[in-house]
Amino acid sequence: MLDKKNIFNTSQSILQTFDSPFLKGKGVKLFVKRDDLIHPLVSGNKWRKLKYNIAQAFKNKADGVITFGGAYSNHLIATASACNKVGLKSVGLVRGEELHPDSNETLKKCSLMGMKLVFLDRMVYAMKNDVDFIKELHADYPNYYLVPEGGANFLGMIGCQEIWNEIPFVPDHVFVAQGTTATSVGLLLGKKESTALHVVPVLKGFDSQKEMLNLLNKVTFDSSISGDYLSKVIFHADADFGGYAKYNDELIDFIRKTYRNHLLPLDHVYTGKAFYSLIKWLEKQNQLEGKTIVFIHTGGLQGSSFYQSDF
């Protein structure tokens, strides 16, 4: 069923070389894993995180999927689109009771793809992981399979691990943007010893270590094992640009230039910040001769096309 619809095919996600005189000078090879090319809406890591969740929904013979997201959530639109393609219903619980299905392009597209949107005030939304609240949801939507916000569960992490299968060498460094940490924890669990995993949180004041540890504990069941894993991560807290979805002229200029000079599209919420952090880190490194670096392009380009046209 899923294969026939062909939505879980990653052949579009190429591993692209990123060339520049700056990189040549450093003697490093930089590659970009273009998960943004998998699908325009079920994009990047959202697609990876949904893969086994959707399969599980089918296994459970669920009527649909219920999930959570903010007003511009890449995860909501990915879920709406994926469910639409495979013939599952979808319900999106949206943060913000002042919103409605016409509030912005993301929500409009979600409704057009058949997602039922339910708008929750922030206090209620904050209960999204509470056992009692989830029980109530299952009572209100019987036979719906629940995916947590951002697809951040075990199956989501397993899906993200598969990125490694599509990188045909062992990179020295890998950079990835971080929101819920499901993608970075998935990558961490599947990486080879010699690869350094660099994470770039995009939320201000986000306790990356604590959040990663929480998720790791759910799979290792042992905080000392989780701690060992965590010690292999390099955190870059220098590129939040003031917080989630915040930006300044420097970031926008960087995104525009990266597109103009390299045809690499980035967004200002996730990948723009992560790639900026990678370049800033590289500028400070002097001993990377012969090393390979992979930037995981996690997608999320909905609404970013103006960075690519306006020059």
Q: Which residues contribute to the site for ligand PLP (CB under 6 A)?
A: 44-46, 74-75, 150, 152, 177-184, 270-271, 298-300
Chain centroid to CA 282: how far?
23
Q: Which is nearer to ligand PLP, 28 or 255 (CB)?
A: 255
d(CA 222, CA 219): 8
Contact 149, 120 (CB under 8 A): no
Which DSSP letter does residue 43 get? -
Q: Which is nearer to ligand PLP, 29 or 36 (CB)?
A: 36
Q: Nearest approach, Cβ of 83 to ligand PLP (angstroms)?
A: 17
Contact 280, 238 (CB under 8 A): yes
Q: Which is nearer to ligand PLP, 179 or 265 (CB)?
A: 179
Contact 259, 266 (CB under 8 A): yes
Q: Nearest approach, Cβ of 1 to ligand PLP (angstroms)?
A: 26
Q: Nearest approach, Cβ of 80 to ligand PLP (angstroms)?
A: 14
Q: Nearest approach, Cβ of 220 to ligand PLP (angstroms)?
A: 18
Interstrand relation of 29-34 and 292-297 (parallel, antiparallel or unpaired) = parallel
Interstrand relation of 15-18 and 29-34 (parallel, antiparallel or unpaired) = antiparallel
Q: Which is nearer to ligand PLP, 83 or 199 (CB)?
A: 199
Q: How many CA atoms lie within 13 A of 254 on its CB side?
A: 20
If we measure between CA atoms, which residue out of 155, 154, 160, 158 comes closest to residue 174?
160
Contact 22, 301 (CB under 8 A): no
End-to-end Cα distance, the chain: 44
Q: Nearest approach, Cβ of 79 to ligand PLP (angstroms)?
A: 12
Return the residue nearest ligand PLP (CB atom): 300
Q: Which is nearer to ligand PLP, 181 or 195 (CB)?
A: 181
Q: Which is nearer to ligand PLP, 7 or 187 (CB)?
A: 187
Q: Nearest approach, Cβ of 201 to ligand PLP (angstroms)?
A: 8
